[in-house]
Chains A and B, each alone.
Chain A
């Protein structure tokens, strides 16, 4: 199976750092995506990890450990506009196997 688990909801303060975890059980995949989705809008691409390690992109970083079945998205210097759902998805050939998403609430 390819069960993917993410926390349902997280709250953080503007200017702070937050880490959103994603754990999975799968027999194989090409890589792991992180997407951001604002309410009522389409998902937008944030990152794609193929190899183990940390990929940094400005305020957002994503980490993957295949041996541990674990990924996280790290958001720094949080802004109010970062309030959204964050979905991890396994890239299984050309199908994306989605986690349920984590709703991130940013407070002033």
Chain B
């Protein structure tokens, strides 16, 4: 299994809703990432989990709350979002967060969740 899966593919939510995005990988990767991508822009890093612990939080508002229940799963809990939060949310994983060597550094991306906040 060499893929990252994300659910749901599309999500429409109101500003008062609470929802969660899910990401799963079974490649044994120990680093997992959440990115936000707006149209015609590169991905923006939000969070990095390394060995199931949050290691980077790029000053993301608290209405986004990540969770890593185990080494294969990564969730992003959403609450009280704003319309400007509408974007493609990408999950990625890599084999080792800080190891050297070409083989370990590639980030594998999931297909993304297209989020629309009304």
Q: Which A positions have Cβ atoms within 8 angstroms of B?
A: 30-31, 33, 40-45, 48, 50, 87, 89, 91, 93-96, 98-101, 103
Contact = CB atoms under 8 A, between A and B. Distances in A.
A31 B97 CA distance: 14
Interface stretch (B14-22, B59-67, B77-85, B100-108): B100-108
A42 B102 contact: no
B56 interface: yes
A42 to B, nearest CB: 4
Contacts, number: 53
A30 B94 CA distance: 15
A87 B102 contact: no
Contacts of B40: 101, 103
Contacts of A50: 102
A56 to B, nearest CB: 15
Most buried by B among A30, A42, A44, A99: A42
A45 B112 contact: no
A96 B102 contact: no
Top 5 nearest A-B pairs (CB, nearest first) are A98-B42, A42-B109, A94-B97, A45-B106, A43-B109
Contacts of A33: 105-106
A95 B45 contact: yes
B90 A94 contact: no
Interface of B: 31, 40-43, 45, 48, 50, 56, 88, 90, 94, 97-98, 100, 102, 105-112, 114
B76 to A, nearest CB: 15
Contact of B105 (A43, A48, A99, A103): A48
Contact of A41 (B45, B98, B102, B112): B112
16 contacts: A30-B100, A31-B105, A33-B105, A41-B111, A44-B109, A48-B102, A48-B105, A87-B42, A94-B98, A95-B45, A96-B43, A98-B42, A98-B43, A99-B42, A101-B40, A101-B41
Nearest to A91: B105
Contacts of B108: 45
Given A99-B42, A100-B41, A31 B102 contact: yes
